Amino acid sequence: MHALDGLSTACCNNLPFIVKDYIAQGTYETIGDTRTYVTGPSAASTAILYIFDIFGYSEQALQGADILSTGDAGNQYQVFMPDFFAGTPADIAWYPPDQEWKGKALTEWWSSRHPHTVVPSIPVLLKQFEKYNPNIKIWFVAGFCWGGKVVTLTTQSNPLYAAAACSSPARMDTGDAAKITIPICILTSEEESDTEVSDFVKALKVEHCIERFAEQKHGWMTARGDLRDDKVKEAYKRGYSIMLDFFGKQQRALGTLHRT
């Protein structure tokens, strides 16, 4: 299946997997007017904005958010996953979009949900989350596939976060990379173009961590991760562990700055 406008070939070809056996640790809250999955300790002073892929609240995404909320080396994080799609994520029935009606449905859905469309809402959301939990002083962000593009767009001038991470980021653009102003961790699959990734990394002017998961498909850390497969599950967990290690490093650096 060829790529549809705005979506990569991998994003069009790879099917999501339904996971039904995970019991989410957090709760759904309406904050402002946005339904949001919230997990992790309310006592945390650092929060993570989790930006999901086009399939929204998949069990894999919820579990990933719960993993991030466990923190690292004494750090605690409260994780917020807002519903950017207002209850209408991409429908699994459209995948793969190998029939005209499927491609049409996905294209129509995508046309009003480009990553750029949510960028203006994020500063407002973060203020609402800080009102919900006044303990929050620092933000990190983690984005996946569609959410990875949102990360690269919102880590440029006047960034809202202290550090960022993304997995299988969509549409890697060297123009975005050159403007990123905070430390960033990027995890890629076998399906992200080596040239595209290499060019993106070369354009970065900030501290960065890059790791390629050579045996994983695009989106393995969210809805496209078949966690019934032990190798995928291991890579899934390792990806979140790398993000936590990276955020922990940035948290310690921020603590050092605050003490000097």
Residue-wise pLDDT for 99-126, tens only, equals 999 989 998 999 999 999 999 999 999 9
138-156 tens-digit pLDDT: 999 999 999 999 999 999 9
User: How confident is the model over 66-88, as a mean pLDDT?
Assistant: 92
| Side-chain half-sphere CA neighbours of 254 within 13 A | 18
Show the tokens assigned to 146: 């569609």
Domain ranges of the chain: 9-259
Measure CA 88 to chain center: 18
Of 171, 132, 130, nearest to 151 by C-alpha is 171
Span 16-31, average pLDDT: 87
* Cα–Cα distance measured from residue 159 to residue 218, given in angstroms and rounded to the nearest whole number: 27
Region 9-259: CATH code? 3.40.50.1820
Tally of CB atoms within 10 A around 203: 16
pLDDT at 256 over 90: no
What's the pLDDT tens digit per position in 175-194? 999 999 999 999 999 989 89
pLDDT of 208 above 60: yes
CA distance 1 to 38: 36
pLDDT of residue 258: 43
The reported pLDDT for the residue numbered 98 is: 85
Q: What is the pLDDT of residue 2?
A: 45
Q: Is 51 exposed, middle or buried (0-12, 13-18, 19+ CB in 10 A)?
A: buried
